[in-house]
Amino acid sequence: MEARKLKSYAQEVIWRNQLSSLLISKGYNVFLPVFDNGIDLIAHRESDGDLKLIQQKGRWSILKKYRDRDIWIAFPHAGSWYLIPHDEMLTWPEVAGFLLTQSWIDKGTYHNARPSKAMVAQFERFYVGPAAVLS
């Protein structure tokens, strides 16, 4: 396997394990779906019945196929993990312009590796914990 692709797969596994560990530390049990269909992890906290269907991404992302499915997007940014309801992100004022891009219109997706300060302020309340990076 090509070194770059292997590093990418390794990063995904490391991030999944980091995120799972953080969720477990917050009282969740974490499950891996046999068939994901857009869901990478299922987190359930028995104490209050909280259930999160999670799609893990390498950066802030929205996708048309995740709308109206109660999916949470987990992504690292600036050394931290965030877990945000996908449909809530679609309502943010900063996102309105993204929904007019060719990427969103043609491909049904938009990624933002460099969110604005206003966006970062929006997702601070969804902080999960620190994120380490594979070097």
- pLDDT tens for 59-100 read 999 999 999 999 999 999 999 999 999 999 999 988 999 999
Q: Classify residue 118: in a domain, yes or no.
A: yes
Segment 99-117 mean pLDDT: 94
Please indicate, yes or no, if residue 8 is contained in any of the structural domains. Answer: yes
E strands in the chain: 29-31, 41-45, 50-56, 60-63, 71-77, 80-85, 109-112, 127-130
Asked, for residue 108, whether it belongs to a domain, the answer is yes
Query: Rounded to a whole number, what is the distance in angstroms from the first to the last CA of the chain?
Result: 18
pLDDT at 68: 97
Model pTM score: 0.91
Range of 43's domain?
Answer: 3-130
- Looking at the domain assignment, is residue 31 inside a domain? yes
What's the domain count of the chain?
A: 1
Is 55 inside a domain boundary?
yes
Q: List the CATH number of the domain containing 114.
A: 3.40.1350
Residue 135 belongs to a domain: no
Q: Is residue 106 part of a domain?
A: yes
Q: How far apart are CA 78 and CA 123, in angstroms?
A: 12
Angle, CA of 23, 94 and 117, to the nearest 5°: 65
Give me the amino acid identity at 127. Answer: Y
pLDDT of 23 above 70: yes
pLDDT tens-digit profile of 25-55?
999 999 999 987 889 999 999 999 999 999 9
**Contacts for 114 with CB less than 8 Å, ≥ 6 apart:** none
Place of tokens 């990076």: 133
